[in-house]
Amino acid sequence: MIVDNYISNHIIPLKLDDDFSLSTRLMDEGKMSYFPVLNGNTYCGLISDLDIYELEDLGVKIIDRRDLLKDLYIYNSQTLFEATSIILDNSLDILPVVDKNKKYLGVLTVYKLLEAYSTYTAANQQGDVIQIILNYNDLYISEISRIIENEDARIINLFLVPVSESTQVRLIIKLNKMGLCRVVKALERYNYKVEYFYQYMAEENLSDNYGLLMKYLSM
């Protein structure tokens, strides 16, 4: 999950000698809240639409108001996790990407970020979802995997979400579409607390699957 693999180049950067009237026009056309500013090929910073709208004279060149530039960027060798943190902390719609010499390489967009997470978490694949809460010291992935596979199901993906101010974690597991009710029952037999489960329902067997779920819930 390296940023270098998700760089977009569809945004034309601003130059230091551009004036702010050009930046507002480009932002309006691209429906962007931020735009990268370069000096040659060197990244200088991000300009925000909110800062621009407060200017009295849009004819001023960006170089004369470098104080408005935000020093936000990420190196191409860093991870998407780090990029996500910067984007969320600063409410960005794009994040400039640079190399170790601060040469501008492009931007990481929120869309590209979501696309990457969709791939890595198997969100774009059909499948059932189970959420288990347990103490971190009781987390044995091999045992959970064995229980699931014994019920003729397979894990497509899984990830952990720490529970704040506790030693517990939520384990979210995505399965193929086989035997969710049996898997839930098996996990509960081994004293795993299943907080939530969702069964993907294809159109052709929606009624049958719904009936199985309701039967399980009534037990």
Amino acid at 44: C
For residues 180 and 130, the answer to whether their CB atoms sit within 8 Å is: yes
CATH 3.10.580.10 segments of the chain: 3-117
Residues 128-200: name the CATH superfamily: ACT domain (3.30.70.260)
CATH 3.30.70.260 segments of the chain: 128-200
Give me the half-sphere count of Cα atoms (radius 13 Å) on the Cβ side of residue 30. 20
Q: What is the CATH number of domain 3-117?
A: 3.10.580.10
Q: How far apart are CA 76 and CA 92, in angstroms?
A: 17
**Mind listing the pLDDT tens digit of every residue in the chain (219 residues)?**
899 999 999 888 999 998 888 877 777 776 788 989 999 999 999 998 888 877 777 788 989 989 999 999 999 999 999 999 999 999 999 999 999 999 999 999 999 998 888 777 767 677 788 999 999 999 999 999 999 999 888 898 888 889 988 999 999 999 887 668 889 999 999 999 999 888 765 544 444 544 544 444 444
Burial 57-83 (b: 16+ CB within 10 A, else e): eeeeebeeeeebbeebbbbbebebeeb
Please state the pTM of the whole predicted model.
0.71
Helix axes 110-120, 80-90, angle to 10 degrees: 140
**Residues whose CB falls within 8 Å of the CB of residue 4, separated by 6 or more in sequence, listed in order:** 76, 77, 97, 105
